[in-house]
Copies of this chain bind each other. A is one copy, B any other.
Amino acid sequence: MALIVKKFGGSSVATPEKIMAVARRVLQEKKPDDKIVVVVSAMGDTTDDLISLAKAVTNQTQGREMDMLLATGEQISIALLAMAFTKLGQEAISMTGFQAGITTNEFYNKAKITGIAPDRVLKELDAGKIVVIAGFQGLTETGDITTLGRGGSDTTAVAVAAGLKADHCEIYTDVDGIYSSDPRVVPTAKRMKEITHNEMLEMARLGAGVMHPRSVELGKHYGMPIHVRSTFSNESGTFIREEYTMEEKEFVIRGVTHDTNVAKIAVLGVPDRPGIAYKIFSALAEANIDVDMIVQSVRAIDKHIIDMLFTIAQGDVPPARTILEKLKEEMSFIGLTIDENVAKVSVVGAGMLGNPGIAAATFGALADANINIEVISTSEISISCLIDATKVEQAVNAIHSRFFPG
């Protein structure tokens, strides 16, 4: 007997026919004693349609009422999928976020899960039912409906798996696993059988699109194995685990990622006083803007003046611009430039700890390809370089072929 949480995204349940196909697929793989929870997203374009409805009423498409609206999308899919199971002779019950005991904080549109009360779900599983849970949503302690924002349904799946102490969580997607680089960019990219949560987290954070970092982080925290696999094939995909179980241990580098959703911000000529970085970055944090790749440099000529350089997501550029223009007056810095024509390429692998040659090899690959590096940042298991956005494909291939020759 196994308890497995399976998650299917919006494109897998886009039509009634596809919903029936998901139900059939789940039943095909289910062993008689298995306890199965299925987490689903909203059908196909439902979320976009709901957003259009809201936009026809108001330009204020944020906050509590938006979550009230969007949460209906998943509620429709769970009801239909439960009907599909019943139609196929399998008892099933659908549950909204609140019925599945998913509590969140009150950050509407991007709430975080604060707890899972699994009693009702376990009771229904014990009664022999497949439990179909709405992804992407939860309820605050005050009883308000929230949605989880980007990567929400994957996060629901992993959180529910952790709350139920499931054997593992399966994420069904349109690719058949995690690759050493994006196969659309690097034709020689290899599929991995296994990867650690830490490495996957770093790859997701640095641009690997298959998994959202939130769900991987949750999987890491609870030691929950996550199996990333294809909706369209029965083959095994990639297992994300705490530790390798196999020969893949010997790999130093696991992947090369890239991210073109990057803007470089330069705050130039700031008078050097204590608390300057705090002032800039706390103002951005208050607006919920994530900052990455921070470099601070003291000017060689005037040591009381510093330059600050960092990256943010392109979608955050408009609010960041407003905040920084305001700070520019307040803090009297000299210049502010924002450049969206940049991209980040990264090398990820737990094996780079104690392998100082990795950084050199990465920079060497870029140099050989005649690509200039604007900013470098490193973590324990990754190295990232900011480069000209037009050269990103060339850069990823150059680095990938250096670490995965042949």
Q: Which residues of A contact B (CB under 8 A)?
A: 15-17, 19-20, 50, 53-54, 56-58, 60-61, 64-66, 68-69, 71-72, 75-76, 78-80, 82-84, 86-87, 93-94, 96, 98-99, 120, 143-145
Contact = CB atoms under 8 A, between A and B. Distances in A.
A143 B99 contact: yes
Given A86-B58, A99-B143, A143-B120, A79 B75 contact: no
A61 B84 CA distance: 11
A19 to B, nearest CB: 6
Contact of A87 (B15, B58, B93): B58
Given A99-B143, A120-B143, A145-B96, A79 B65 contact: yes
Contacts of A17: 56
Given A56-B16, A58-B87, A120-B143, A76 B82 contact: no
Nearest to A15: B56
Contacts of A96: 68, 145
A324 to B, nearest CB: 29
Contacts of A60: 83, 86-87
Contacts of A94: 64-65, 68
Contacts of A69: 75-76, 79-80, 83
A75 B56 CA distance: 17
B76 A57 contact: no
B72 A57 contact: no
A53 B46 CA distance: 13
Contacts of A68: 75, 78-79, 82, 94, 96
Contact of A93 (B56, B61, B64, B93): B64
